[in-house]
Amino acid sequence: MHCLRFALSPRLFSVSDHPRFYSRLLSIRPVMSSSKPKIFVTRDDFPGIELLKQKAEIEIFKGTQPSKDEIIAGLKGKQAIYCSLNDKIDRDVLDACKDSLKVIGTMSVGVDHLDWRLCFERGIRIGYTPIILTEAVAELTMALLLATSRRLFEAHNEILQNRWSSWSPMWMCGPGLHEATVGIFGFGRIGQEVARKLKAFRVKKIIYSRSSPGEIENDVGAIKVDNDELLRESDFLIVLCSLNEKTQHFFNKERFAQMKSSAIFINVSRGGTVVQDDLIDALKRNVIRAAGLDVTTPEPLKADHPLLALPNCVVIPHIGSATYKSRNEMGEATSQNILLGLEGKPMIHEWKV
């Protein structure tokens, strides 16, 4: 019954889906019948896998980052996968396991590593972990804003280099958040939470842009503007959008040139939103003042990468959601999403367009 109710949900089906309706209906029947379902887990340190161990037969990849071939091999005969944003589930992977895979559980809010369109077409359900990490990512965004504007890493490095000779009036100064105009590119849950936190810093104005039409009602007085105004007006520009066709490589040479030369660019979204060589060039030539990045291309970044040699760039290794609470809850939710998905029940968080 659950299955039927779910299948008829208007979120998944509309009249335009008609030709594929019945095949989809069949494809989301519960797959947990008498025997335990088989699940591939792409690393052994995911939180929440104890739950899966009790209810399913799980194969855990030994290591931290399976290659595409290793994912394909691991998925053989499995009904579900527990993965993260590192694991690319593209057409090749989906083709290789098309007879068995029913559910993907990703321990992330972003789903750009998944070919979700093909998943929808094939009736593969996707569980993900929004909301749980909103506070953690918003906090980390604040940390990057402060670390970059108040030059914390640069200042720390001055001490390590024995260059702290005396207290000095203008040494290590930076622009503060107080009275600044802060622009947010992508005003979803995390963007709105960042805006709330910014209020406490008594910024002058919060502006945002987003691709969907309409304004977002918000309790902090953030004003919707178009992208040009956002680029032109922001003292701090924070990228918090999801990565998709519209946002891929949005921040390029021309866009950096539109920004204030005093602007600070913060990216907590995905490295793919930026043409990274253009950013490096903009930072080197002081087209913008500084950048703070939680995300890069590629990830992980090697220690000799040119971004890391720039004094006006703070780079951290994709730790936006890395609080104990957030990561543990994300793990629990991922396991539950997978089990609920396999039972044909509504997930805690199911990804929909």
Ligand X SMILES: O=C(O)[C@H](O)CO
Nearer to ligand X among residue 274 and residue 282 (C-beta):
274
- Annotated catalytic, 349? no
Give the shortest CB-188-to-ligand X separation in angstroms: 12
Q: Does 267 bind ligand X (CB under 6 A)?
A: no
Residue 321 Cβ, how far from ligand X at the closest point, in Å?
4
Q: Which is nearer to ligand X, 79 or 336 (CB)?
A: 336
Q: Considering the rule CB under 6 A, would residue 334 count as an interface residue with ligand X? A: no
The residue (of 216 and 322) whose beta carbon lies closer to ligand X is 322
Residue with tokens 């895979």: 101
CB of 219 to ligand X, least distance (A): 24
The answer to whether 230 contacts ligand X (rule: CB under 6 A) is no
The residue among 79 and 321 lying less far from ligand X, judged by its C-beta, is: 321
Residue 17: how many CA atoms within 13 Å on its side-chain side?
Answer: 18
Q: Is 205 helix (H, G, I), strand (E, B) or coil?
A: strand
Q: Identify the CA nearest to 325 among candidates 78, 94, 139.
A: 139
Q: Does 42 bind ligand X (CB under 6 A)?
A: no
CB of 81 to ligand X, least distance (A): 16
- 180 torsion bin: left (phi>0), alpha (psi -120 to 50), beta (else): beta
Location of structure tokens 């579900």 = 80
Cα separations (Å) of 81 from 3, 185, 284, 299, 352?
20, 32, 42, 22, 18
Q: Strand, coil or helix: what is 84?
A: coil
6 or 185: CB nearest ligand X: 185
Residues touching ligand X, count (CB under 6 A): 8
What does the alpha-carbon distance between residue 319 and residue 137 come to, in Å, rounded to a whole number?
8
Q: Using the rule CB under 6 A, is 137 a contact of ligand X?
A: yes
Determine if 234 is a binding residue for ligand X (CB under 6 A): no
Amino acid, res. 172: M
Rounded Cα–Cα distance for residues 200 and 85 (Å): 32
The string of DSSP letters for 207-248 reads: EEE-SSSSPPP-TT--EE--HHHHHHH-SEEEE-PPPSTTTT
**Nearest 5°: phi and psi at 221?**
75, 25
Per-position x/- string for 83-122, each x denoting binding to ligand X as judged by CB under 6 A, each - no binding: --x----------------------xxx------------
Interface pick for ligand X out of 42, 134, 234, 321 (rule CB under 6 A):
321
**Should residue 273 be labelled a site residue for ligand X when binding is judged by CB under 6 A?**
no
Footprint on residues 209-228 left by ligand X (CB under 6 A): none
Could you say which of 2, 156, 305, 318 is catalytic?
318
CB 175 within 8 A of CB 235: yes
Question: Which residues would be at the binding site for ligand X (CB under 6 A)?
Answer: 85, 108-110, 133, 137, 320-321
Give the active site residues.
Answer: 318
